[in-house]
Amino acid sequence: MKQTAIQWLVNEIQTKYDKSFIEFYGAEIEQAKEIEKEQQDDFPIGFAEWCVIRKVHFFDDTEQGMVFTVDLYKCKYTTKELLQIYKIEKGL
């Protein structure tokens, strides 16, 4: 399982500094974890909304497997390609 940025930071602090540092900043760390969780939830929700707004349609192409079309672009895309388009449009 991948570490989040906050988990990595806490781990780095614990290995390089005294554990009292973590205890002292515990409330801030917990707040950062909550913000990070909200951001993690916001991304897939934003992507799903983007797909709905652009009328993304799924169909099964026997040669290519799962294929998606976007009314806005009238082209076929894979899920990876759709995600890249979303990221570019959102500046991510």
Cα–Cα distances in Å, from 56 out to 15, 31, 70, 78? 47, 36, 4, 11
Give the DSSP H or E segment for 68.
strand 65-70
Mean pLDDT of 24-33: 82
31-87, pLDDT tens digit by residue? 888 888 888 888 888 888 888 887 777 766 555 555 666 665 567 777 788 888 888
The answer to the question of residue 49 being in a domain is no
Give the DSSP H or E segment for 57.
strand 56-61
**Domains identified in the chain, total number:** 2
Tell me if 54 sits within 8 A of 61, measured CB to CB. no
- What does pTM read for this prediction? 0.53
Tell me if 22 sits within 8 A of 12, measured CB to CB. no
69 and 31 belong to one structural domain: no
35 and 59 belong to one structural domain: no
pLDDT at position 13 over 60? yes
pLDDT given at position 55: 77
pLDDT given at position 52: 82
Q: Which domain holds residue 13?
A: 1-43
pLDDT given at position 71: 66
The answer to the question of residue 48 being in a domain is no
The answer to the question of residue 6 being in a domain is yes
